[in-house]
Amino acid sequence: MDLFSLQTDGGWEKEGANMKVLITPRGFANYGLDQVERMKSKGLDVHYNATGKAYTHEEFKALAKDADAIIVGVDKMDKEMMEGCPNLKAVCKFGVGTDNIDLDYAKERNIHVGRCVGSNSRSVAEHVLSMMFMEAKNLYTSVRDVKQHGWNKPTGREIYGKKLGIIGFGMIGKYLAEYAYGCGMEIYAYDAFAIAEETARQYHAQISTLEDILTDCDYISLHVPLLDSTRNMISTEEFKKMKKDACLLNAARGGIVDEEALYEALKNQEIRSACFDVYSSEPPREDDKLLALDNFLLTPHTAARSMESEQRTCAMSTDIILEQLTGN
């Protein structure tokens, strides 16, 4: 793929000295063309990814070098990348997690970093709930077996009456609590910041400690950012505290769970299962040993991707960029 085709497909025509906005997430081509037109109507030169594929790092560097603002997905926005963008004034994450952006260097350069907080929270919470059902009802293995002309009838589990521990009680955690309560689960919530009693009551949750969630809950769902303090926060000692029948869910960030320790816990049946939407290396290697385990389920980082959340994220990221570049 050459740069000319990238530029043509994405509307890469230069309009005089207008400020440039580069959009790397493919969602804009499907769900955000109205927002592209909105930015253009404000005099911005907008370049969006209409290739249907993620940009390579080299393509991204070439396209970003004269951008004034970038709406970025998982593309790496480190110091080296930003040093190659002398005009850069704003970066907006197409989502929430900023672990792919060098925040310290952005602050040093006075580059505004925005996030689309809340735009995909319901989508992620629904995905986590669906993973719970998929695991409890053996949906993945049952569908796979029938397609391979099998007719096995594995016995599943009910989630009604089970204890769900939510680690990180932001909007995703709150929505998950709301959904799970509707399914008859008992909800326990922990956050590094104090949870108000009124908030816990509103979302039918009991305020708990990390220790109690690890030892008492049947399902444990992670909703924390990837920071130095949360990297590998679930590792060997934490797995030893969990019930042998526990299911661990992670739709937050790869790196929060020590994957080597997870492999040992699953292989040795220290816990029942794990359902993830994120991984430390995406996509994982073909020979990744966790993927060979039947009690480990992984989806390709799609929890945040629904038509509705993509539309909201396109609108919210556009709002942020317009505010930074045009003041409205």
Residue closest to 109 by CA, chosen among 147, 80, 134, 149: 80
Identified catalytic residue from 38, 109, 157, 301: 301
| Number of neighbouring beta carbons within 10 Å of residue 84 | 13
Residue 122 structure tokens: 């319901």
In contact, 234 and 256? CB cutoff 8 Å: yes
Say if residues 133 and 157 touch (Cβ distance below 8 Å): no
H helices then E strands: how many in the chain?
14, 12
Rounded to whole angstroms, what are the CA distances from 298 to 30, 150, 152?
25, 23, 22
Q: Which of 166, 197, 196 is nearest to 181 (CA)?
A: 166
What does the alpha-carbon distance between residue 205 and residue 198 come to, in Å, rounded to a whole number?
10
Two tokens at 22? 């580069």
Catalytic residue among 37, 237, 282, 308: 282
Rg (CA), the chain: 22
Asked if 127 is an active-site residue, the reply is no
Catalytic annotation present for 26: no
Catalytic, 253? Answer yes
Q: Among the options 112, 115, 253, 272, which is catalytic?
A: 253
255-271 as b/e: b if 16+ CB within 10 A: bbbbbebbbebbeeebb
The catalytic residues are: 253, 282, 301
